[in-house]
Amino acid sequence: MADAQQPTSFAGRTVIVTGGGSGIGQAIATLFGARGARVGILDLASADATVRTITEAGGTAMHVQCDVSKQDDVSRAFAEIGERFGPVDVLVNSAGVAHVGTVEQTTEADLDRIYAVNVKGVYNCLKAAVASMKDRGGAILNVASVAATVGIPDRFAYSMSKGAVVTMTLSVARDYIGRKIRCNSISPARVHTPFVDGFLARNYPGREGEVFEQLARTQPIGRMGKPHEIAELALYLCSDAASFITGSNYTIDGGFTTLKM
């Protein structure tokens, strides 16, 4: 049994993080790297900053440019990472895109875009990881959202996609519990990431600070979450310390879903 005073180590393990180039995914990839994992980052955009942060701290990381909505891209990326680091031991599905709008404001193109990344992208990575982990063992974590279980205004397509992430989590956990694979999800509320800053700049120019505070106050704790806080929960759920946990969805939301103001 590991000493409870020692940080959780992922030394010798291959961890794949999608969307690891920025935001929550970047924080997760960086924390795994700091704990000794060989980190493979799948991101369509640049992940140079994440790789540099990990390697300059003495860790090991690589970035494979990948469109998770395309199964061939995902298969190629898993193969590249496997060739360099060995088969995947942990998968964190963090890649995602957002959309603001009601059902009437959501176009068919909007829905297809959200589905392609947030649902099909998770499916593609689950399919690749499960094939590699079966009987050898592994842990999978899917990043969902409080929008999966709570009605949030103007989030029709996004809520649809995150609800699917939670139910895919339950399905994989059930189907592969006998094949040594654990699968869980986490559901953050608002987290202060570059996406939030970009959203405010585009939609509320000159009022960014005011609207930021309004959004922060929607969470009873009085602030947005921080990416490193989400990363700590992700690390725990993928660690041996959580070996009895599978098929669970954990909210990390500053009381948003349970402590209504």
Closest CA to 23 of 183, 198, 142: 198
* Res 194: pLDDT: 86
- What are 64's strand-pairing partners? 42
Nearest Cα to 129, choosing from 17, 245, 11? Answer: 17
Q: What is the pTM of this model?
A: 0.94
Task: Say how many C-beta atoms besides its own lie within 10 A of residue 29's C-beta.
Answer: 35
Please state the domain count of the chain.
1
Residue at 99 is within a domain? yes
User: Is position 158 annotated as part of the catalytic site?
Assistant: yes
Report, as an integer, the average pLDDT of 119-131.
98
- Which of the four pLDDT bands, split at 50, 70 and 90, describes residue 115? very high
Give the model's confidence band at 1: pLDDT under 50 very low, under 70 low, under 90 confident, else very high.
very low
Q: What is the CATH number of the domain that holds 36?
A: 3.40.50.720
CB 169 within 8 A of CB 126: no
Alpha helices in 23-153 (DSSP H): 23-34, 48-56, 71-85, 108-114, 121-133
Question: Is 102 part of a structural domain of the chain?
Answer: yes
pLDDT of residue 5: 61
User: How much helix, strand and coil, in percent to the nearest 5, is found in the chain?
Assistant: 45, 15, 35
Between helices 121-133 and 71-85, what is the axis angle to 10°?
A: 40
Predicted pLDDT at 31: 98
Helix (H) or strand (E) holding 185: strand 181-188
User: How far apart, in whole angstroms, are the C-alpha atoms of residue 233 and residue 23?
Assistant: 15
Task: Give the count of alpha carbons within 13 A of 171, CB side only.
Answer: 11
pLDDT digits (tens, 9 = 90+) for 24-61: 999 999 999 999 999 999 999 999 999 999 999 999 99
CB 169 within 8 A of CB 231: no
What sign has the CA pseudo-torsion 85, 250, 243, 170? negative
Residue 208 domain-assigned (yes or no) = no
Spot the catalytic one: 115, 123, 158, 204. 158
- Whether 34 maps to a domain, the answer reads yes
What is the model's pLDDT at position 13? 98
The average confidence (pLDDT) of the chain is: 95
What is the domain extent for residue 84?
14-189+225-250
Whole-number Å distance between alpha carbons of 125 and 73: 10
* Position 1 in a domain: no
**Considering only CA atoms, which of 81, 67, 63 is closest in space to residue 26?**
63
Domain presence at residue 67: yes
User: Mean pLDDT throughout 63-80?
Assistant: 98
Q: What is the pLDDT of residues 184-223, one digit of tens each?
A: 999 999 999 988 888 889 889 999 899 899 989 989 999 9
Mean pLDDT of 249-255: 97
Q: What is the pLDDT of residue 203?
A: 83
From CA 150, how far away is CA 185, in angstroms rounded?
16
Q: Does 214 reside within a domain?
A: no
Least confident window among 102-111, 147-156, 195-204, 215-224? 195-204
Rounded Cα–Cα distance for residues 105 and 100 (Å): 8
Specify burial of residue 94 (Cβ count, 10 A radius: 0-12, 13-18, 19+).
Answer: buried
Answer whether residue 6 is part of any domain: no
